[in-house]
Amino acid sequence: MTSVAEEPSSVRIDLTNKSLFVNGGQYPLTPAEFDLLAAIYTSKSIVPATELASRFRIGRQTIWRGVNSLRQMLGPGCIVTVRGKGYRRPDPGEISLSIAEPIAFVRPSGRWNVQDKARAVMAVRSGKMTLDELEAQCGVSSEEFQAWAARMDRYGVPGLRATRFQVYRD
């Protein structure tokens, strides 16, 4: 595992390419580590471990191991534990952080796949697109969007698979 200096001066997270840059150098992360880091760093408040566990469908012990792995790689101050509540990113004065946001949502040319649905949900939630704009540009009804968002919240991105819909049906 590659280790960074004890306290990195700058961290840049590229959500489009799923890349992490610390002090100008790129560091490899597993998909699970990247998702965990992105969830903590894109939140403006404390992220409870239970929320992370339900979002990624993993146990709290796995989250703890992932956070420890990230701390070993990035340094101990990169993820702050709030005892009894969860995790948060450092305060702006503690570390220089820039998050390269994903590109704006583009309507798929063919059928909707899992990634397109997830991007649409994230675009509306992040404020890059309103639900009305999504309806006008892509022909997605608000009921269909709400179903995507609910399945994504409950089952993660795999819950958006059309072929697996019956498995996730409530």
Query: Which residues, other chains included, contact 126 with Cβ-Cβ below 8 Å and sequence gap of 6+?
Result: 101
d(CA 14, CA 92): 18
Structurally, at CATH architecture level, domain 10-100 sits in Orthogonal Bundle (1.10)
- Domain coordinates of the chain in residue numbers? 10-100, 114-168
The mean pLDDT of 95-114, rounded to a whole number, is: 63
The mean pLDDT of 3-32, rounded to a whole number, is: 68
C-alpha separations of 76 from 6, 25, 73, 90, 159 in Å: 7, 18, 9, 10, 34
Query: Which residues, other chains included, contact 142 with Cβ-Cβ below 8 Å and sequence gap of 6+?
Result: 131, 135
- Sign of the CA dihedral with 152 first, then 155, 161, and 164 last: negative
Q: Which helix (H) or strand (E) holds 100?
A: strand 96-100
pLDDT digits (tens, 9 = 90+) for 129-163: 888 888 888 888 899 999 988 887 777 777 787 75
Who wins on pLDDT, 26 or 97? Answer: 26
- Among 67, 64, 139, 77, residue whose Cα is nearest residue 108: 139
Mean pLDDT, all residues of the chain:
76
The mean pLDDT of 19-32, rounded to a whole number, is: 75
The mean pLDDT of 71-100, rounded to a whole number, is: 75
